[in-house]
Structure 1
């Protein structure tokens, strides 16, 4: 019986394989889009009710302006590449929060928050587009779904099939509570893996380029971020690839991104 359950579990996982847009990386998504959106929206609403929204209209408008432009370019890409059905998963929202942390985060469905502490390091719309493109990429790549799926596999292992056909909703909510750990040291969400962060770096550069922003500023921006505020590493950078690796990867990727996705 254990062997049969294991084999069925493997079949379930294989049936749940998907590919990340742009990169083509294979990922296992055991949780439906609707379940991810429902569980994450609850956590997001709880957070945003207590968060202090910025009273700086100019900076708030900047976040909304750049965010919407990148979101529009992203949706246009999805529609043009046979993924129009994915657009319905997004209800974009861009908020600037009065918080001194040098940080930003994204929840599934396109709920993106930027902290005011990050903006002193942003000198233009283009540099802000580096941040927002990165966060939009997390949503499009379904990194949260992947993390929840990994949590389910880690917790239930070979018994995953029985969970899927019986008490899945409770298991999903438990996984969501772990992934969106309100009050965790990194803010409203636990950090993504370095693999996810590197992928979001690349995809974010593509999305900001599609939106008409200059991706060349990414190198200087990440150099400023790596220096941090008062010489300390921002939480936003804490699980990202090393500074040298990130800059090297960006410099390597920029020529192809500009040639392929830049405005002609």
Structure 2
């Protein structure tokens, strides 16, 4: 059992009987999972349908076709072309993208305006596909659920101090476990995304260029220790090291 699994098991003693460690070959590590990907499909499909209804979808044919074309190449490179994928461009000035475990990718018009070429768009889409391959949604759900069960049990035994224990315990779990885990997921998705964009014929170095552009336009001053995402410089450095290790320019 890996240290990651041991740590999560120790945090979620009450959920030991429900949990299991599964080895993810793409990540080269074991994952603590108490749900299967299939358990998230129905919720993901419902979330996608709701997003399509509540958010404005771009009617720009060229933009939508571009995302489908680049996304199709990346999905093919990731070995996931055998499943159904849906893509949508949403009218939103904020540069953003997201993926759902059921195979849907959303991209904002703000992101399409920001990326300078298809290679950078492939870096974004490769990153999102990486989350699916890595089963990050199921792992994140498992970690949060197990942590919540454990903290609830501790709080129930805290008597008059229950509220304080709940607040401090939740903060400790958020900063000490859940947020760093999310940052780790992001870096893993970055790495997998580079693999896929390279296999799809795009330039790996453009993933670094993308994050430099993102760093220039970012307004947030949230320190990395309190953020669900790594800092731009952390991502850039990690990508530079990984791309160099693969011998890519």
TM-score range, shorter chain: 0.7 to 0.9
Q: Which residue of 2 aligns with 1:66?
A: 70
How many Å separate the matches in 2 of 1:130 and 1:226? 15
The C-alpha deviation readout for 1:185-229, integer Å capped at 9, x for no partner, is xxxxx998111111111111111111111111111110001112x
How many Å separate the matches in 2 of 1:59 and 1:21? 34
How many Å separate the matches in 1 of 2:245 and 2:93? 36
Q: Would the aligned equivalents of 1:21 and 1:140 in 2 still touch at CA under 8 Å?
A: no
After TM superposition, the structure 1 stretch with the greater mean CA deviation from structure 2, 17-26 or 61-70, is 17-26
How many Å separate the matches in 2 of 1:242 and 1:105? 18
Q: Which residue of 2 aligns with 1:232?
A: 219
Q: How do 1:136-175 and structure 2 match up within 5 A?
A: 136-157=129-150
**Structure 2 CA distance for partners of 1:99 and 1:138, relative to 1, 3 Å:** same
The alignment status of 1:111 with 2:104, answered yes or no, reads: yes
Residue of 241, 248, 262 corresponding to 2:237: 248
How many Å separate the matches in 2 of 1:7 and 1:24? 25
**Structure 2 CA distance for partners of 1:54 and 1:257, relative to 1, 3 Å:** farther
After TM superposition, the structure 1 stretch with the greater mean CA deviation from structure 2, 243-252 or 61-70, is 243-252
After TM superposition, the structure 1 stretch with the greater mean CA deviation from structure 2, 121-130 or 32-41, is 32-41
**Structure 2 CA distance for partners of 1:127 and 1:152, relative to 1, 3 Å:** same
Q: Which residue of 2 aligns with 1:34?
A: 38
Q: Would the aligned equivalents of 1:108 and 1:144 in 2 still touch at CA under 8 Å?
A: yes
How many Å separate the matches in 2 of 1:92 and 1:153? 30
Q: Would the aligned equivalents of 1:202 and 1:250 in 2 still touch at CA under 8 Å?
A: yes
Alpha-carbon deviation of 1:130? 0.6
How many Å separate the matches in 2 of 1:158 and 1:9? 12
Alpha-carbon deviation of 1:257? 3.4
Aligned length: 210
Q: Would the aligned equivalents of 1:36 and 1:145 in 2 still touch at CA under 8 Å?
A: yes
Residue of 71, 84, 96 corresponding to 1:91: 84
Across the aligned residues of Structure 1 and Structure 2, the Cα RMSD in angstroms comes to 3.0
Any unmatched runs of 5+ in structure 1? 1-5, 77-86, 161-189
Q: Which residue of 2 aligns with 1:22?
A: 26
After TM superposition, the structure 1 stretch with the greater mean CA deviation from structure 2, 196-205 or 90-99, is 90-99
Residue of 80, 93, 99 corresponding to 1:100: 93
Q: Which residue of 2 aligns with 1:196?
A: 185
How many Å separate the matches in 2 of 1:242 and 1:9? 33
SS in 2 for 1:222: helix
Q: Would the aligned equivalents of 1:67 and 1:129 in 2 still touch at CA under 8 Å?
A: yes
TM-score normalized by structure 2?
Answer: 0.75
Any unmatched runs of 5+ in structure 2? 1-11, 154-178
The C-alpha deviation readout for 1:98-147, integer Å capped at 9, x for no partner, is 11111111111221100001112212111100100000111111111111
**Structure 2 CA distance for partners of 1:20 and 1:257, relative to 1, 3 Å:** farther
